[in-house]
Amino acid sequence: MARRKKIYEGKAKVLYEGPEPGTLVQYFKDDATAFNAEKHDVVEGKGVLNNRLSEFFMTGLNAIGVPTHFIKRINMREQLIRSVEIIPLEVVVRNVAAGSMSKRLGIEEGTALPRPIIEFYYKDDALGDPLVTEEHIIAFGWASQQDLDDMVALALRVNDFLSGVMMAVGIKLVDFKIEIGRIWENDFMRLIVADEISPDSCRLWDMKTGQKLDKDVFRRDLGNLADAYTEVARRLGVLPSNVTHATKPTLIN
């Protein structure tokens, strides 16, 4: 069998050429990175969990009319997606102060924000993904004013959907990051949600205990990352309760 063509390899995922034009296969790795890849580890089973969770969130978004790149899951680690031209911005939505916002503005982590706050970061590892304003985005041609309006609308719809889904299982959506891409249909360009939505790109706190169920477990050495993601998947009904993150074959005597 011919080896399929690798299009791009990132920190947590690999993109391969898809079976049809305009499609790609997105493979989820077990690699966990933080602090611009200064901290790196392999967390067994993380890729399987994120593939499932991203499928779950993107399928839900598609169902309520928020367009995403997700077409279908292929296997444990791979999904078929639409090929997009990624806008070089990370779009962060915050409901509660945490992480870099708490640090930058001196707001205690856990402080509820008066309204969802949207931030844009320019995707450039060499620069450490700096915070940018709409002025920079338009002046440097990363996106137009119309794109920005559409991105804000998409981000807020994703926030409403994800907040509701998580609240229903006792989890507070503190903040999250999405990436957005362009697709062309005939002469028209549309923006759709791309990349992934998973505990790698969200902050998720248990509503009762405040326990962190997201990548901060890895960033801050708070315990086993796969256990935290498995708990999110279990509550959402994405994994049967008796399935753990073990992916190795088990010998049955």
13, 73, 212, 215: residue in contact with ligand UDP (rule CB under 6 A): 215
CB of 252 to ligand UDP, least distance (A): 39
Q: How far apart are CA 85 and CA 195, in angstroms?
A: 11
C-alpha 102, offset from chain centre: 21
Of 20-28, 43-51, 66-74, 174-182, which segment contacts ligand UDP by CB under 6 A?
174-182
Residue number of the CB closest to ligand UDP reads 99
Q: How far apart are CA 52 and CA 57, in angstroms?
A: 9
13, 69, 172, 177: residue in contact with ligand UDP (rule CB under 6 A): 177
Q: Which of 8, 13, 93 is nearest to 51 (CA)?
A: 13
Site string for ligand UDP, 111-140 (x = CB under 6 A): ------------------x-----------
In the complex with ligand UDP, the residue whose CB is nearer, 48 or 97, is 97
In the complex with ligand UDP, the residue whose CB is nearer, 10 or 170, is 10
Q: Please answer whether residues 59 and 45 qualify as being in contact, where contact means their C-beta atoms are separated by less than 8 angstroms.
A: no
Q: How many CB atoms lie within 10 A of CB 59?
A: 13
CB of 14 to ligand UDP, least distance (A): 17
Residues 86-115 binding ligand UDP (CB under 6 A) are 90, 92, 98-101
Phi (first) and psi of residue 182, to 5 degrees: -100, 140
In the complex with ligand UDP, the residue whose CB is nearer, 90 or 231, is 90
Q: Using the rule CB under 6 A, is 218 a contact of ligand UDP?
A: no
Q: Using the rule CB under 6 A, is 245 a contact of ligand UDP?
A: no
Cα dist. 196→26, 28, 99, 200 in Å? 10, 10, 20, 9
Q: Please answer whether residues 129 and 177 qualify as being in contact, where contact means their C-beta atoms are separated by less than 8 angstroms.
A: no
CB of 121 to ligand UDP, least distance (A): 7
CB of 101 to ligand UDP, least distance (A): 6
Q: Residue 225 class from Cβ within 10 Å (0-12 exposed, 13-18 middle, 19+ buried)? A: buried
